[in-house]
Homo-oligomer: A and B are copies of this chain.
Amino acid sequence: MMSKKVTITDVASTAGVSVATVSLVLSGKGRISQATSARVNQAIEQLGFVRNRQASSLRGGESGVIGLIVRDICEPFYAEMTAGLSEMFEAQGKVIFLLQSGATGKGLERCFDTLLTHGVDGIVIAGGIQHVNHSLREKAAAQGVPLICASRSGGSEGVDLVRPDNMQAAKIATEYLIRHGHKQIAYLGGLGSSLTRAERLGGFCATLLQYGLPFRSEWIIECDYHYGHAADAAESLLRRYPKISAIVCHKASVALGAYFGVLRTGNQVAGSSMDNLFQRQVALIGIEDSPELALTEPPLTSVSSSAREIGYAAARRLLLRIGGQNLETQDIIVNASIVERGSA
C-alpha cells in the first residue's frame, strides 16, 4: 500500500546530492545551481516526496500554523470572519487550526492549551473575549506566542483587539437617511442591556442632533432578534406615528422583520419596484450586513464593518506580531461602510 514514506534522504540519493542541498532547494535559500536544482526537483516529482513540516518546524522556526478559537462557527459573523482570516493566512502560506470554545471560559482555556501544545505561531480569539484573562495572556507570553482578539464589541485589555466601529456604523446609516431627505427617523431593535446597542444608539442620536433633528425617545424601540417581534414592533410604531419615514434597524434580522412589518401596515418599503402613489414609502436601513438582506424585494440596504474585513485586519495584525515587532497593544477599529441595495 504505502511504500515507506519517502524522505529528504531518498530524494538526495536519487538526485545524487546531499540532504542539505535538497533542503536548500526546498526552502529556496542557499544559491543552488540551476542544474542541481532541476535534478532535485525531478527526483522529488519522481518519488512523490512530500516535505514534513513538523520536522522542519521542530528544528528551525515557524510552524506556519495559526490557531483560531471561535465561540461558535455557526454564527454567521464568526463564519465570515473566519473566512477572512483563512484567506489572508493562506495567502501567506499559513494554515489555521480551528477550535470552538463554546460559551464558557473553561473551553477557552482548554483550546488555548491545545493550540500551544501544537506549536502554533500565533493565536486569534474570536468572541468570548471576556474570558481572556491575565493567566491566559501570561501563558501566551511565556511561550512567545502572540495573541490577538477579534470581536463584535469592545471590552478587553492587555491584548490587541480588532472590532467594528458600531458608533460610526450607526452614524453612517443615519446620515445616509438624512441626506436622502428623511427627517422623521426611528431606531428599532436590540435590547437595553446590549453594549453594542448602546454604541450604535449613541451614533444615531449624535447624528440626529448634529443635523438639528428632533430626538424622540418614543421612536427608539427595543425588541429582540425574532422576525415576528421586529415586524410587530415596526408595525405598531408606524401605525402610531405615521410621520415616521425611515427606520434604522439595529441588526440584520430586525431589518428583515421590519421589512415585513412595513408591508403589513399597507405601506411600501422605499425602492420597491411597484410604485404606487397611494402608498407611503418607508425607508429601511440595517446595521450589520447579512446575505439574507439581498433576498427581499427591494433588497435591504445596510451599513456594517464586514466581518471579513475584521478577519483581514486581525490577520494582518497577527502577522505583524509574528514578524517579531514589539508593538504596543492597541484596539483596531474597522470602519463601517454602506451596502446600498435600494431600501433607503
How would residues 80 to 98 of chain A score, 1 for a CB under 8 Å from any chain B CB and 0 otherwise? 1011001100100001111
Among A8-16, A55-63, A163-171, A181-189, the stretch that binds chain B is A55-63
| Cα of A96 to Cα of B141 in the assembled complex, Å | 24
A294: nearest residue on chain B (CB-CB)? B226
**Contact (Cβ within 8 A) A100 B73:** no
A2 / chain B contacts, CB cutoff of 8 Å: 141-144
Say yes or no for A247: interface residue by CB 8 A criterion: no
How would residues 46 to 84 of chain A score, 1 for a CB under 8 Å from any chain B CB and 0 otherwise? 001011111101100001110010001110100110110
Indicate whether A54 sits within 8 Å of B86 (C-beta atoms), given known contacts A48-B139, A228-B297, A297-B228: no
| Cα of A229 to Cα of B97 in the assembled complex, Å | 39
The winner among A64, A80, A82, A141 for most chain B CB atoms within 10 A is A82
Say yes or no for A118: interface residue by CB 8 A criterion: yes
A64 / chain B contacts, CB cutoff of 8 Å: 118
| Cα of A31 to Cα of B82 in the assembled complex, Å | 43
Say yes or no for A277: interface residue by CB 8 A criterion: no
| Cα of A144 to Cα of B3 in the assembled complex, Å | 9
Indicate whether A119 sits within 8 Å of B1 (C-beta atoms), given known contacts A82-B98, A98-B98, A100-B90: no
Indicate whether A143 sits within 8 Å of B96 (C-beta atoms), given known contacts A65-B118, A79-B79, A80-B74: no
| Cα of A227 to Cα of B225 in the assembled complex, Å | 18
User: Which A286-303 residues have C-beta < 8 A from chain B?
Assistant: 292, 295-297
Indicate whether A141 sits within 8 Å of B73 (C-beta atoms), given known contacts A87-B100, A95-B118, A98-B82: no
| Cα of A228 to Cα of B72 in the assembled complex, Å | 30
Nearest Cβ in chain B — how far from A306, in angstroms? Answer: 11
Indicate whether A117 sits within 8 Å of B50 (C-beta atoms), given known contacts A5-B143, A228-B296: yes
Nearest Cβ in chain B — how far from A336, in angstroms? Answer: 19
A99: nearest residue on chain B (CB-CB)? B95
Nearest Cβ in chain B — how far from A103, in angstroms? Answer: 13
Give 6 A-B contacts (CB < 8 Å), ordered by A residue: A5-B144, A48-B139, A76-B79, A227-B292, A227-B296, A253-B295
Q: Top 7 nearest A-B pairs by Cβ distance?
A: A228-B297, A2-B144, A98-B98, A227-B295, A54-B54, A79-B79, A226-B295
